[in-house]
A and B are shown apart, each in its own frame.
Chain A
Amino acid sequence: MNAFEYTFLIPFVPLLGFLIIIFNFNRFPKKLTAVLATGFIGFTFVVSIYTAWQYFFQMGPVNGVYPKFIGFDFEWLKLGDHLSVHMGTLIDQASVMMLIVVTTVSLMVHIYSIGYMHDDRGFNRFFAFLQLFSFSMLSLVMATNVFQIYIFWELVGVSSFLLIGFYYEKPSAVAASKKAFIVTRFADLFFLLGILLLSFHVGTFDFISLTNPENFESFNLSGYALFGLSIPALALILIFIGGAGKSAMFPLHIWLPDAMEGPSPVSALIHAATMVVAGVYLVARLFANYALMAPEALALVGYVGAFTSLFAAVIAVTQIDFKRVLAFSTISQIGYMMAGLGVSHYGGEEGLGYMASMFHLFTHAMFKALLFLGAGAVIHAVHTNSIREMGGLRKYMKTTHITFLIATLAIAGFPGLSGFFSKDEIITAAYQSNPLVYYALLVVAGLTAFYMFRLYFLVFWNTEPHYHLKPHDPGKAMLIPLIILALLSILTGYIPFGQFISSDGQPLHTHLHLDMAVISTLVSFTGIALAWMLYKKPSDMPQRLIASASTLYRWAYNKFYIDEVYLFVTRNIIFAYISRPIAWFDRHIVDGTMNAIGWVTVTTSHKIKGLQSGQLQKYAFAFVSAVLVISALLVYYLLNN
């Protein structure tokens, strides 16, 4: 049927890698595993690049619109004559872009992990899980229908669970993995409800027909509404809650900072670049439905995104754990993307926000992966997560320093680097449609620059503590991905993204909005300058600032006590008033019934076991007597009839 049949290889090859490694993980030497896993993901990367080249350059837009293809498709589950679940690969602008993001970051992380995990006992297990994750994530982005995306949505959740809890001897890692799983699973419940509600009214799972605006007329969307919302709005909000769980939107963000218990490459791959943006991707997938069927749901997406972005940025300023700063930064940046989607409209110039959001997703994946990998290199060298015990590392880790600086500049929106371009587009889109979101995002831009440079200065400048071992740059396997990602962080900003990704498939001509650029640059320069003053050299200014705003600082430092609120709700309300009565009922009524049945049986058996005396003649006596009685009855019956 088409030229994209081969795309089934993209998820299939990592799956194969997972199966090969997991069934041999006690047997394979580390080198073999590394070569196999990296080779498989490298192959996938090459296929994805080829797919992108074929899709964007060889085929290009047809009549000015990028077409959508089903590359490969089979019926996976037949539920009836009218309903069946398919598995396949969908090739369109967003999925091809995500293919590149996922395979690039995954390949870099694989190479990096060869060095990072070198001395770890779980080396083979780690690579097997990485392959499993790559398989699930690639299948997720190429899902042809809502059901497929849901299945792989859960599967990336499982991979994430396995990798957060990778150091399963550490109680904190186990707790973090459980927390991540439970929170995202809780959100996925709403996702499932949304899917059911939407497909019940729309009558299809398939993305191509689901998101085609020409079909919207034919959808049966009448019906009662809940909370004054229309059916599509309710369904799409439910789906967004699922996406918010995966993408760590407020108030479901609590799992992501804890997820940093996993190894750093995992944080880079799953919890910065790919899985956590699945929520953004999901909203983008159904963007036509959001924008045209339920603008109120889309507005909610925008507000939640903007608020989360601001909220997480404030917390990030106060954190002292290296990876947690980055985690809150990730939450903040994903909020940015959500806000970008929220302020967008469908089609044409109005669709700038959509394109900007995808653009930011793309560039963010590169520089945030780089930041995490750099953080991994630093933690590897100094053996601590606390930035208070770091400082002055620029002298010891030159390459890491340079690449980290590039990534920090990129995320801060320094002109000329990738983050600058994508962030600028989002701010422009927000300015055009929603001033509230616009100001929030502008503040976040300044805060981002500030906390990222605070982190940078505290780690690479400032006072130098006494290191037991002199820190040094990591080995080649870790440096090469850092350098490649640094180059990508600079260069990806120059991709004319609107040419490739747009809300309605038509190429979008974008240009730099100079006034916006000047404003956002000024804001981020302010942040950088502030961080420079406060943290470049040791001083007591930060302490004095903290003292002057101690309440705000304490709240932000404790992440606004959201975790405590959750604990209170679960432990004091749900456990005490719902779970405990249910447990009582289960233990006493359900188990009691079962125990009673068992007790009656056992007691009866004890009472009547004497009948089984083993005395043959007693049995024979009973037998003969019974035969006589039965014969007598029979004869009596026959004589009387």
Chain B
Amino acid sequence: MWQDITLQDVLIVSTLMFFSGVYGFLTRRNLITMLMSVELMLNAVNINFVAFNYFLHPENMHGMFFALFVVVIAAAEASVAIAIIIGIYRRFKSINIEDVSNMKY
């Protein structure tokens, strides 16, 4: 089934999704929206894993498990990132990335 969809089709979608994430990460100034961009990129990668697994090496579902662990780790990352964002907000009264530039020369 689904023989009428090719791997390339899925990969094109994930590529577009990934680079929207890159664009958001480079342009957004709000830390939360930057985090959202990161989530977009993660999801694009996950789709790739699952698609490669499905179309190329379905035997042991390695790609799916990989994606599964990525999802779990992404959840952990999101919780810590939001904790950091709230900490930054409390400290600087802002979550604008340009205000958080203490780590410079």
Q: Which residues of A are at the interface with B, using a C-beta cutoff of 8 A?
A: 609-610, 612-617, 620-621, 624
What A residues does B22 contact at CB under 8 A? 624
> In the assembly, what is the distance between CA of A200 and CA of B59, in Å?
80
Contacting pair A617 B26 (CB below 8 A)? yes
Q: Which of A616, A620, A624 has the most CB of B within 10 A?
A: A616
Which of B25, B98, B105 contacts A609 (CB under 8 A)?
Answer: B105
> In the assembly, what is the distance between CA of A273 and CA of B25, in Å?
88
When C-beta atoms are compared, the residue in chain A nearest to B101 turns out to be A614
Number of A-B contacts (CB under 8 A): 29
Contacting pair A614 B26 (CB below 8 A)? no
Which of A609, A610, A615, A621 contacts B97 (CB under 8 A)?
Answer: A615
18 extra interchain contacts, Cβ-Cβ under 8 A, other than A617-B27, A617-B29?
Answer: A610-B105, A613-B104, A614-B100, A614-B103, A614-B104, A615-B97, A615-B98, A615-B101, A616-B97, A616-B100, A616-B101, A617-B25, A617-B26, A617-B97, A620-B25, A620-B26, A621-B26, A624-B26
24 cross-chain CB contacts under 8 A: A609-B105, A610-B105, A612-B104, A612-B105, A613-B101, A613-B104, A614-B100, A614-B101, A614-B105, A615-B97, A615-B98, A615-B101, A615-B104, A616-B97, A616-B100, A616-B101, A617-B25, A617-B26, A617-B29, A617-B97, A620-B25, A620-B26, A621-B26, A624-B22
What B residues does A616 contact at CB under 8 A? 97, 100-101
> In the assembly, what is the distance between CA of A615 and CA of B25, in Å?
12
Q: Residues 6-30 of chain B: 1 if any A CB is under 8 Å from the residue's CB, otherwise 0?
A: 0000000000000000100111010
> In the assembly, what is the distance between CA of A518 and CA of B86, in Å?
111
When C-beta atoms are compared, the residue in chain A nearest to B25 turns out to be A620
What A residues does B100 contact at CB under 8 A? 614, 616
What A residues does B29 contact at CB under 8 A? 617
> In the assembly, what is the distance between CA of A614 and CA of B98, in Å?
8
When C-beta atoms are compared, the residue in chain A nearest to B105 turns out to be A609
- In the A-B complex, list the 3 residue pairs whose CB atoms are closest, starting with the nearest: A614-B104, A614-B101, A609-B105
What A residues does B102 contact at CB under 8 A? 614
What A residues does B98 contact at CB under 8 A? 615
- Whole-angstrom distance between the Cβ of B26 and the nearest chain A Cβ: 6
- Whole-angstrom distance between the Cβ of A356 and the nearest chain B Cβ: 81
- Whole-angstrom distance between the Cβ of A112 and the nearest chain B Cβ: 69
Q: Residues 76-105 of chain B: 1 if any A CB is under 8 Å from the residue's CB, otherwise 0?
A: 000000000000000000000110111111
When C-beta atoms are compared, the residue in chain A nearest to B27 turns out to be A617
Enumerate B21-58 residues with CB–CB distance to A below 8 Å: 22, 25-27, 29
B interface bracket (residues with beta carbon within 8 Å of A): 10 to 19
> In the assembly, what is the distance between CA of A185 and CA of B25, in Å?
72
> In the assembly, what is the distance between CA of A403 and CA of B9, in Å?
119
> In the assembly, what is the distance between CA of A617 and CA of B27, in Å?
8
What A residues does B105 contact at CB under 8 A? 609-610, 612, 614
- Whole-angstrom distance between the Cβ of A361 and the nearest chain B Cβ: 73
When C-beta atoms are compared, the residue in chain A nearest to B28 turns out to be A617
> In the assembly, what is the distance between CA of A621 and CA of B34, in Å?
13
> In the assembly, what is the distance between CA of A291 and CA of B4, in Å?
113
Q: Which of B27, B98, B105 has the most CB of A within 10 A?
A: B105
- Whole-angstrom distance between the Cβ of A300 and the nearest chain B Cβ: 71
> In the assembly, what is the distance between CA of A614 and CA of B100, in Å?
8
What A residues does B26 contact at CB under 8 A? 617, 620-621, 624
What B residues does A621 contact at CB under 8 A? 26
> In the assembly, what is the distance between CA of A620 and CA of B29, in Å?
13
> In the assembly, what is the distance between CA of A610 and CA of B105, in Å?
7
What A residues does B104 contact at CB under 8 A? 612-615
> In the assembly, what is the distance between CA of A552 and CA of B105, in Å?
77
What A residues does B25 contact at CB under 8 A? 617, 620
> In the assembly, what is the distance between CA of A614 and CA of B101, in Å?
4
- Whole-angstrom distance between the Cβ of A398 and the nearest chain B Cβ: 84
> In the assembly, what is the distance between CA of A609 and CA of B97, in Å?
20
- Whole-angstrom distance between the Cβ of B35 and the nearest chain A Cβ: 12
When C-beta atoms are compared, the residue in chain B nearest to A628 turns out to be B22
- Whole-angstrom distance between the Cβ of B71 and the nearest chain A Cβ: 23
- Whole-angstrom distance between the Cβ of B21 and the nearest chain A Cβ: 11
> In the assembly, what is the distance between CA of A621 and CA of B22, in Å?
9
> In the assembly, what is the distance between CA of A609 and CA of B104, in Å?
9
Q: Which of A609, A614, A621 has the most CB of B within 10 A?
A: A614
Q: Residues 55-78 of chain B: 1 if any A CB is under 8 Å from the residue's CB, otherwise 0?
A: 000000000000000000000000
> In the assembly, what is the distance between CA of A615 and CA of B26, in Å?
11
- Whole-angstrom distance between the Cβ of A629 and the nearest chain B Cβ: 15
- Whole-angstrom distance between the Cβ of A621 and the nearest chain B Cβ: 6
- Whole-angstrom distance between the Cβ of B89 and the nearest chain A Cβ: 16
What B residues does A613 contact at CB under 8 A? 101, 104
What B residues does A614 contact at CB under 8 A? 100-105
- Whole-angstrom distance between the Cβ of A294 and the nearest chain B Cβ: 72
- Whole-angstrom distance between the Cβ of B27 and the nearest chain A Cβ: 8
- Whole-angstrom distance between the Cβ of A353 and the nearest chain B Cβ: 80
Q: Which of B22, B27, B29 has the most CB of A within 10 A?
A: B22
What B residues does A624 contact at CB under 8 A? 22, 26
What A residues does B101 contact at CB under 8 A? 613-616
- Whole-angstrom distance between the Cβ of A620 and the nearest chain B Cβ: 6
> In the assembly, what is the distance between CA of A612 and CA of B27, in Å?
19
When C-beta atoms are compared, the residue in chain B nearest to A617 turns out to be B26
> In the assembly, what is the distance between CA of A489 and CA of B57, in Å?
109
- Whole-angstrom distance between the Cβ of A182 and the nearest chain B Cβ: 50
When C-beta atoms are compared, the residue in chain A nearest to B98 turns out to be A615
> In the assembly, what is the distance between CA of A620 and CA of B25, in Å?
8
When C-beta atoms are compared, the residue in chain B nearest to A609 turns out to be B105
> In the assembly, what is the distance between CA of A584 and CA of B43, in Å?
69
> In the assembly, what is the distance between CA of A408 and CA of B105, in Å?
80
Q: Which of A617, A621, A624 has the most CB of B within 10 A?
A: A617
> In the assembly, what is the distance between CA of A43 and CA of B22, in Å?
87
When C-beta atoms are compared, the residue in chain B nearest to A616 turns out to be B97
> In the assembly, what is the distance between CA of A46 and CA of B25, in Å?
90
> In the assembly, what is the distance between CA of A624 and CA of B38, in Å?
13
- Whole-angstrom distance between the Cβ of A623 and the nearest chain B Cβ: 10
What B residues does A610 contact at CB under 8 A? 105
- Whole-angstrom distance between the Cβ of A604 and the nearest chain B Cβ: 13
What B residues does A617 contact at CB under 8 A? 25-27, 29, 97
- Whole-angstrom distance between the Cβ of A601 and the nearest chain B Cβ: 15
Q: Which of A609, A610, A615 has the most CB of B within 10 A?
A: A615
